[in-house]
């Protein structure tokens, strides 16, 4: 079993003052190999320009006098356009900063140019593009989904890549939210699950499989009522109905579906449904349903405490060990527990 290496880093809510990164101008390397992109089945939606306006297709078209894809990096230096204010987190890709452009607060994920296997060939872009950037561009085309974090624009500093993203505040990870609340009520759980299913449906409709949905990759904006933002598309892949080699699974192992260890292949929709089943059980009980790898195969779901029969039915149908027996995303939304006003 492969496991994504996790690095020690600060979590949001624990900021320290930090200098802004200094992007270095250098020629971009040409990655050795890149996967083939998914065939475009629908016309691609209109791009949404970033807050600096520099990525507006009008500006680029005027400058170059020919259409430029919305995958293009923003011109200029990120540090000239954004005022870096504080370091939020040191992640495994790089560093996440809070920054400002005029009155607008943004989060900027900035890190060294990744290794060549992290690139994708995308239409109308002269060279393979960093996978996370490519996925975010697809997801952020209009109409956007309110439950998926937005990337407004990105900068290629040669040695450094910077993604300028929406900064929902105040926010915390779903893990922190569950821990603080010591498990969530049925009504809040239902609300968050509905938002999550919509986020996942949006990803699938744009040809993006997140591949690492877990409690740390979901932000909860706790302004009035909780509103989630699915984020961190660094492990994402293009949707492939033929599935993925299980040896390449690199998500959190607590969320790993049994087929990604047992069958040699795992598939986007049943894997997403498994992720959602684990998250649903954790939101209600305050702890993960499977703590050890062997539990994923043999442990019956019994520590569900006061959870009602309807909800237990939904959890167990999302966590069917055979992926073909699992619910679909639409069936989760239609399940009777999701449409019930009381626990």
Ligand X SMILES: Nc1ncnc2c1ncn2[C@@H]1O[C@H](COP(=O)(O)OP(=O)(O)OP(=O)(O)O)[C@@H](O)[C@H]1O
Chain contacts with ligand X (rule: CB under 6 A): 6-7, 11-12, 88-89, 91-93, 96, 107, 109, 149, 165-168, 171, 173, 216-217, 219, 231-232, 234
Residue 328's closest CA among 341, 317, 337, 316?
A: 317
C-alpha 77/C-alpha 54 separation (Å) is 11
Query: Do 289 and 278 touch, CB atoms closer than 8 A?
Result: yes
Nearest residue relative to Mg ion (C-beta)? 232
In the complex with ligand X, which residue's Cβ is closer, 135 or 318? 135
By CB under 5 A, the residues from 227 to 286 that bind Mg ion are 232
Which lies closer to ligand X via its Cβ, residue 12 or residue 52?
12
Q: Nearer Cβ to ligand X, position 118 or 246? A: 118
Q: How far apart are the first and last CA of the chain?
A: 37
89 binding partner (options ligand X, Mg ion, none; Cβ < 5 to 8 Å by kind): ligand X
In the complex, what is the shortest distance from the CB of residue 113 to ligand X, in angstroms, rounded to a whole number?
Answer: 14
CB burial class (10 A; 0-12, 13-18, 19+) of residue 57? Answer: middle
Pick one of ligand X, Mg ion, none as the site partner of residue 176 (Cβ within 5 to 8 A by kind).
none
Q: Which does 167 bind (CB under 5 to 8 A by kind): Mg ion, ligand X, none?
A: ligand X
Task: Select from 79, 95, 110, 217 the one that contacts Mg ion (CB under 5 A).
Answer: 217
DSSP state letter for 335: S
Radius of gyration of the chain (CA): 20
- The least distance separating ligand X from the CB of residue 105, rounded to whole angstroms, comes to 9
Which residue lies nearer to ligand X by CB, 11 or 101? 11
Q: Which CB, 96 or 332, lies closer to Mg ion? A: 96
CB of 308 to Mg ion, least distance (A): 32
Q: Is residue 132 at the binding interface for Mg ion, with CB under 5 A as the rule?
A: no
CB of 296 closer than 8 Å to CB of 290: yes
What DSSP designation does 258 have? T
Among residues 70 and 232, whose Cβ is nearest to Mg ion?
A: 232
Q: How far is the CB of 251 from Mg ion (least distance, A)?
A: 10
CB 28 within 8 A of CB 127: yes
Helices (H), 182-267: 186-205, 259-262
DSSP states along 294-326: HHHHH--S---TT--HHHHHHHHHHT-SSGGGS
Q: Which residues bind Mg ion (CB under 5 A)?
A: 217, 232
């Amino acid at each position: 079993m492969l496991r994504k290496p996790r690095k020690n880093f600060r979590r949001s809510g624990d900021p320290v003052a930090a200098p802004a990164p200094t992007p270095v101008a250098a020629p971009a390397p040409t990655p050795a190999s890149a996967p083939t992109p998914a065939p475009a089945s629908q016309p691609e939606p209109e791009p949404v320009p970033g807050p600096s306006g520099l990525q507006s297709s009008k500006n680029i078209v005027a400058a170059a006098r020919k259409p430029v894809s919305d995958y293009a990096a923003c011109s200029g230096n990120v540090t000239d356009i954004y005022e870096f204010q504080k370091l939020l987190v040191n992640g495994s890709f790089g560093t996440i900063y809070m920054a400002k452009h005029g009155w607008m607060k943004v989060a900027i994920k900035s890190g060294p140019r990744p290794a060549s296997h992290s690139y994708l060939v995308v239409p109308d872009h002269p060279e393979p593009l960093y996978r996370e950037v490519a996925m975010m561009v697809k997801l952020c085309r209009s109409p956007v989904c309110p439950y998926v974090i937005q990337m407004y624009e990105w900068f290629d500093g040669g040695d450094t890549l910077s993604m300028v993203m929406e900064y929902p505040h105040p926010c915390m990870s779903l893990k922190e939210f569950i821990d603080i609340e010591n498990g969530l009520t049925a009504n809040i759980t239902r609300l968050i699950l509905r938002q999550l299913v919509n986020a996942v449906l949006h990803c699938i409709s744009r040809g993006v499989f997140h591949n690492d949905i877990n409690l740390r990759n979901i932000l909860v904006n706790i302004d009035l009522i909780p509103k989630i933002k699915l984020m961190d598309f660094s492990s994402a892949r293009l949707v492939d109905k033929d599935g993925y080699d299980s040896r390449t699974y690199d998500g959190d192992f607590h969320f790993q579906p049994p087929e990604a260890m047992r069958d040699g292949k795992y598939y986007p929709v049943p894997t997403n449904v498994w992720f959602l089943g684990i998250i649903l059980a954790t939101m209600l009980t305050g702890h993960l349903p499977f703590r050890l790898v062997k539990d994923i195969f043999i442990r019956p779901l019994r520590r569900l405490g006061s959870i009602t029969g309807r909800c237990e039915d939904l959890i167990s149908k999302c966590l069917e060990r055979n992926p073909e027996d699992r619910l679909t995303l639409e069936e989760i939304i239609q399940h009777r527990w999701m449409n019930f006003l009381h626990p």
